[in-house]
Structure 1
Amino acid sequence: MPSLSDVFPLSGVPTITFVEPVEYARLKVALEAKGRGIVIEGPSGIGKTTAVRRAIEELGIKQSVTELSARKLGDVEVIESLPDFPDAGVVVVDDFHRLPSRVSQKVADYLKTLADESVETTKLVILGINKAGESLISFGRDVAARMEVIRFQREPDDHLREVVRLGEESLNMSIPISDEIIAAANGSFNLVQFLCHDACLAKGITKTVAGPKATLDISFELVNGRIMDRFEAEFGRAAIAFAKGTKLKREGRAPYLHLLKWLGEADEWSIDVDRVLALHSELRGSIGQVVKKGYLTDLINDPTKQLSDLLHYEPTTKVVSVEDPKFYYFIRNLAWSKLAIQVGYLNISFGQTKDFALSFAGADRDVAEALFDALTENELEVFYDKNEQSRILAENVEEYLGPIYRTEASFVVCLLGPEYPNKVWTKFESDAFKARFGTNDVIPVWFADASPGMFDESRKVGGLTFDRANDFQEQIASIVEELCKKIADRRLSAAHVARDDLDAE
């Protein structure tokens, strides 16, 4: 009589409820072909490893197969030395994306060698997350012609439904909430097994029901609540650690939290950073800088955060992926506003695409660039012309810049140096934002070497000062501190308004 763990196992290869993935037949044919390497890529938990093990068993070649994992230090050493072992048989390398680059390069070279020399006694089968093949090809474009790439994607609902049906049949019971379970599993064999297992456990079904067929009298809300409570204990701290980033900037645009949110919304359990930023220009600067400066990589690889088993970032493809299907389920069902409060962010809803727009004459570019660098370090969105050159190309510059200074930036910071009144572009910019002087949105920075009376009109509002005779970095730090306080006040005010609107409803 099968037990619950036999029918809906939480790990290992299912036997009773195994359902062939869409690419299963192609996988078996590729495994039978001698010599030619195979790359199997797709989200974690989608069924890649299970499919390979099952196919190997069905083909009767298990005795000639060696399984290695990039997660095991000892296995990594073996993978690196594979070229030294002739007639190695079928070698399965799991979690290829986790290999150090030097080892990945050796694997790519070895694949080419095996193909070029038509070696039939050794075959490499490489498993990795989305774009693992593309990552491998980055070590040499000619690798592509020497391997077969099989992409495992979200399984169709009818495949997941068959898993449920087989389980119901084996345990002599029915699961009325199967449709909700299938929708929540989002194409993952692993998750549908997990959800069915928990639904049965909640109603005390631990083995095949004797007698008449049983019906699980349970709501999906109860199952989801049980699982989220368990996952909160398991993953809550990790989610907060990632959302907080390398150092919490409360007034910032929460770049790490947004990356995590987009991962939870992604059907393929991974996101291409460049593609999501094309859709979210309001976070292009804050997220772009944590990626460009290596902060994202450092955060995921920080052993104190315990994130590397849950998330992976591949710099060559700029893809962030979820490594654990349970963690994916957790972030997919998180209340993001609640998480933002737990982390400590002031507000994660932004009415404007930029926090600050810098207006300055070319002679004061050094000050503008120092402010830009310091503000973006605080995870704020800043318009600075030098950083926008690629987007301004081929655009009507006046049409591109005008809206930024008129409405798209929360604040305009104008660096009022001696050359400011004499330049064409500063006149255009000031014409665009001059109407905002009465709305507390323009922050003047008066330079000590500008002629007295040159900016009398601007002195009707509060501002800051800069003196080139004094310490440069200290003044930059002081200005940035004041600007961060200003945007923090704006974030808090917006958050209070939003809460008041909700209360009114």
Structure 2
Amino acid sequence: MRICPQRGVVHCRNPLLQPRRTSDQVSASDRAGSQQATPGEFSLLDRAVYHRFVAIPYLEDVFKISGVPSYTFVRPSEFNRLKVALRTPGRGVVVEGPSGIGKSTAATKVLEELGLDGSVVKLSARVPADIEYIEMLPELGDFGTVIVDDFHRLTDSTKARIADLLKVTADMEHTRRKLVVIGINDAGRALIKSAPDLSNRIDIIRFEVEPASKIEELVSAGETALNVQLDARDLIIEKARGSFYLAQLLCWDACVQAEVTEKAQNRQSISTSYAAIQRRVVERQKERFGPAVRSFARGTKFRPSGRAPYLHILKWLSESESWSISIQDEMRKHPNEKASVGVVLEQGYLAKLTEKSDIAEILHFDPDSKVLAVENPLLIFYLRNISWPQFVRDVGFTKIDYKENYDFALSFAGEDRAYAENLRNRLEDNGHSVFYDFAEQHRFLGQDIETYMGPIYASDSRCVVAVLGEMYGKKRWTLFESSQFENRIEPGEVVPIWSTKVPPTSFDTTRQRGGLEFDPEGDLIQQAAAHAEILSRMIAERT
């Protein structure tokens, strides 16, 4: 791609920037010609056109599982607002909402009504060749109307350039330049973050889950077009959960299983049960999503006895009414998993995991808003309908429900913090939930510290690790902590780690129990790593 400076012309080999004509885009003359002939006079292509637009609708044209529907298009709730925004000169438009909710379809239909669909350039951040063009938009002058889909996948620098372009275009009330941005949740927030003064210069239109009445309208339109009656229609409407795409797919599958592939001559009942539809759809998606979902559930460092924070995140996503979740909100709702999920969130492990190519295809995580969203509506259907006990077994976890909030609670004097912090980091890297005072400090500000910390050492951790340095028996807080876990020493729930600076004495009863040693003057990182591996194996065998 290049720009000719003399003429301001863009030379581009990207076919997406050329006028497009899909199988659904047949001109009026094509249709008129078809209506004036008889089927016997048609070529093979003519017969397909005749069958599709004049005589008998095909199933794939009625219940569309790809492309823009015609027979079953239903105006979403925000359609009119989107229409007004798109015809306002110069003003940028941001369309955001869950994947598969109908954002792109609605934009396409509005542009058709406005007579602009033939001149619109549609680009996607999923297509490498399109990204090159998106990055050059600020330099292209009067580029007409451009739709940038999957905006959330662009880099922060490109988002900032688009934000500046939207601001300039709006201020000029440009009549020959219109930019439409489509993305999943919080696409508008991402733009405003790049340019805070943009908020009053763009229209942010949020597509939510549609009401059941809209889904019912879609199903009824399809039944009329195919001359059928779906016995499972009520369950399809309910289980689609406000998604036009899922409703299309479920209806399509019901008809396929009933061997109905085109309009019936006489009214026909589609007796396919919803259970049969669900099984077929889930089974097909298992091959598609199974490996990536399993990889996400196992996380960066899988241990069968681990806390399974990523598995819990997937479960929260499956239970959400929308197709995205705020990790921070979910942590507040699920206090038992708060600590382990907090580790993968705060340490950046979740963000890193969602950058893996196979996982990035199905999930998107925004590290700023801490929102996890699905990239494909079929994924949420898959997660909602799999057998979770079986999935847990398939992933390989031996236990995921714990009565204790922490795997380990660290007790140490401040003089040994360097070793304790390294041990905490290594244990968390191994997938464990660790109570470490500095990590929890913001939670007990203004509270009675003894009331907050006492139960953690007494019973709310599977194991207490006592780092017994030179000052351990002389500090107020270590004396308090040891008083709380004293009764846990005999059952073997306290692991002592002695400093080599503290010589053993005949009065030290902890020496009678198995423990570890650390050298405060040695390589603390290496020692902590070795000790973390031993502790991880210990707790795995006790699960």
TM range (shorter): over 0.9
Distance 1:415 1:291 in 2: 27
Where structure 2 has 5 or more consecutive residues not aligned to the other structure, the ranges are: 1-55
- Give the fraction of aligned pairs with identical amino acids, expressed as a percent: 44
> What aligned pairs does 1:31-110 form with structure 2 within 5 A after superposition?
31-110=86-165
Q: TM-score, normalised by structure 1?
A: 0.93
SS of the counterpart of 1:355? strand
Q: Which residue of 1 aligns with 2:184?
A: 129
**Structure 1, 104-113 or 71-80: larger mean CA deviation:** 71-80
Q: Which residue of 2 aligns with 1:271?
A: 325
Question: What residue identity is the alignment partner of 1:118?
Answer: E
The question of 1:234 aligning with 2:288 is answered yes
Distance 1:478 1:62 in 2: 63
**Structure 1, 182-191 or 55-64: larger mean CA deviation:** 55-64
The question of 1:248 aligning with 2:270 is answered no
The question of 1:185 aligning with 2:237 is answered no
Q: Which residue of 2 aligns with 1:168?
A: 223
SS of the counterpart of 1:438? coil
CA 1:470–1:142 in structure 2 vs 1: closer, same or farther (change >3 Å)?
closer
Aligned residues: 488
SS of the counterpart of 1:395? coil
Q: Which residue of 2 aligns with 1:197?
A: 252
Distance 2:375 2:67 in 1: 16
Distance 1:146 1:342 in 2: 50
Contact in 1 for aligned 2:419/2:525 (Cα 8 Å): no
> Of 253, 276, 283, which aligns to 1:222?
276
> What aligned pairs does 1:477-492 form with structure 2 within 5 A after superposition?
477-491=529-543
Q: Which residue of 2 aligns with 1:19?
A: 74
Distance 1:433 1:44 in 2: 49
**Structure 1, 401-410 or 482-491: larger mean CA deviation:** 482-491
Contact in 1 for aligned 2:85/2:93 (Cα 8 Å): yes
| Deviation (angstroms), 1:293 | 4.1
The question of 1:393 aligning with 2:445 is answered yes
Structure with greater Cα Rg? 2
CA 1:68–1:465 in structure 2 vs 1: closer, same or farther (change >3 Å)?
same
Distance 1:10 1:135 in 2: 30
Distance 2:314 2:252 in 1: 27
> What aligned pairs does 1:370-389 form with structure 2 within 5 A after superposition?
370-389=422-441
Contact in 2 for aligned 1:37/1:123 (Cα 8 Å): yes
> What aligned pairs does 1:281-296 form with structure 2 within 5 A after superposition?
281-296=335-350
| Deviation (angstroms), 1:464 | 2.4
Q: TM-score, normalised by structure 2?
A: 0.86
SS of the counterpart of 1:261? helix
**Structure 1, 97-106 or 80-89: larger mean CA deviation:** 80-89
| Deviation (angstroms), 1:72 | 1.1
Q: CA RMSD in A?
A: 1.8
Distance 2:507 2:472 in 1: 10
| Regions of 4+ moved over 4 Å | none
Higher relative contact order (CA 8 A, sep 6+): 1
| Deviation (angstroms), 1:220 | 1.1
Contact in 2 for aligned 1:285/1:376 (Cα 8 Å): no
Q: Which residue of 2 aligns with 1:302?
A: 356
Question: What residue identity is the alignment partner of 2:169?
Answer: L
CA deviation digits over 1:367-423, x for unaligned, max 9? 110110000001111000011111121111111111111111111111111211111
The question of 1:439 aligning with 2:494 is answered no
| Deviation (angstroms), 1:229 | 1.2
CA deviation digits over 1:275-330, x for unaligned, max 9? 22222344344333434444333333333xx2222111122222111101112211
SS of the counterpart of 1:301? coil
Q: Which residue of 1 aligns with 2:420?
A: 368
Question: What residue identity is the alignment partner of 1:70?
Answer: A
Q: Which residue of 1 aligns with 2:18?
A: none
Q: Which residue of 2 aligns with 1:457?
A: 509
